[in-house]
Chain A
Amino acid sequence: AQTVTQSQPEMSVQEAETVTLSCTYDTSENNYYLFWYKQPPSRQMILVIRQEAYKQQNATENRFSVNFQKAAKSFSLKISDSQLGDTAMYFCAFMGDTGTSGTYKYIFGTGTRLKVLA
């Protein structure tokens, strides 16, 4: 079964600094997707960034980028120039085949609570 592990329950960073959130996963599949979602205090889940496993190039979205290491099964999120609005819970997620034709599951890690300090 697939698993997603986020080993940092809480982190903090000074405004304008850079922070990296860690995520590791376990799967025997070769084709899958990885995601980072943000959950601010409003609790609305928002997609931050997505990575296809078959792409070697790391995904970037403005201040957000990932370091995808497929062999190591690692998928870290780097936030550059941190802003107060980045304060949120961040979840790493894996999407892959359940083994039943046409069905797919999304597995989430336990989250990292990030606080950006003024």
Chain B
Amino acid sequence: DGGITQSPKYLFRKEGQNVTLSCEQNLNHDAMYWYRQDPGQGLRLIYYSQIVNDFQKGDIAEGYSVSREKKESFPLTVTSAQKNPTAFYLCASTGGPPLGSGANVLTFGAGSRLTVL
């Protein structure tokens, strides 16, 4: 079955360490997104990528980095510069072209919970 796989599901990090969250999709979707979810704040956009080798900062990109070397993969690195990284992270994708078609529904992975010790 097609879908989005996020790993690991739970991750613990010591302060000062970088960690990478994996996001893989087999939906042949062009666009991929990373969101951070905190209680009472909904989903906030970290980074998004419309095509391979291109990505844009979202609203809260500071302290995060991404790459898009393959269409299927969009890993997120939480760097030591992120001051409050404990959160639930969601990866999503969509087929595009967005407007005027049925391909613009976001499909989500199951999420990754990052806790800083």
Contact = CB atoms under 8 A, between A and B. Distances in A.
Interface of A: 6, 9, 31-33, 35, 37, 42-45, 47, 50, 91, 93, 95, 97-98, 100, 102-111
Interface string B16-40: 0000000000000001010100001
A105 B45 contact: yes
Nearest to B30: A102
Interface residues of B, number: 25
B108 A106 contact: no
Given A110-B41, A110-B42, A33 B99 contact: yes
B9 to A, nearest CB: 10
A37 B99 CA distance: 18
Given A95-B98, A104-B31, A110 B40 contact: yes
Nearest to B102: A50
A35 B107 CA distance: 12
Nearest to B58: A105
Given A31-B99, A47-B105, A95-B98, A103 B42 contact: no
17 contacts: A6-B42, A35-B105, A44-B111, A45-B90, A45-B92, A45-B108, A91-B42, A95-B98, A97-B99, A100-B56, A102-B50, A103-B48, A104-B50, A104-B98, A105-B58, A110-B41, A111-B42
A41 B50 CA distance: 30
A106 B108 CA distance: 13
B116 interface: no
Contact of A103 (B35, B50, B88, B105): B50
A95 B110 contact: no
Contacts of B104: 33, 95, 104
B81 interface: no
A108 B31 contact: no
Given A31-B99, A108-B42, A110-B42, A43 B88 contact: yes
Given A95-B98, A108-B42, A43 B110 contact: yes
